[in-house]
Amino acid sequence: MIEGLSHVTFIVSDLDRMEKLLTEVFDARKIYDSGDQTFSLSKERFFDIGGVWVAIMEGEGLTDQTYNHVAFKMSPDEYEDRLQRIQALGLEVREGRSRVEGEGHSIYFYDYDNHMFELHSGTLEERLRRYDEEK
């Protein structure tokens, strides 16, 4: 039986730069750094972001940007602050998709290695309720 999400791993070209992004945008807490050791495929660091184990490993970043992404929850009143943090790091913000009122707000952005992230203020229940109203 699946119990839930274990962790998410991103391959990044610069561990220090990605650590700065994770700590400044997501308030991530670093919980492990392999240093020069490689227990896995390469050097790695582990972080806790809102109770989610996020791993970053040193390697070659993605060559293309896609809509594949990981979304983290934020409260609605954090929108402007989080957007400013993202912009302060010079990250590319992608225009969000069109939305119906009541399904929350999102910030989509790419990291330095073309991974897309979303900060979203809504819940699944809110979205489904809102979509049901549109029928």
Point out the residues that are catalytic: 44
Going edge to edge, which strands form the sheet with 7-12? 7-12, 52-58, 44-49, 29-33
CA angle (60 as vertex; 108, 52 as ends), nearest 5? 50
Among candidates 27, 2, 3, 32, which has minimal Cα distance to 15?
A: 32
CB contact burial 84-112 (16+ within 10 A = b; e otherwise): ebbeeeebeebeeeeeeeebbebbbbbbb
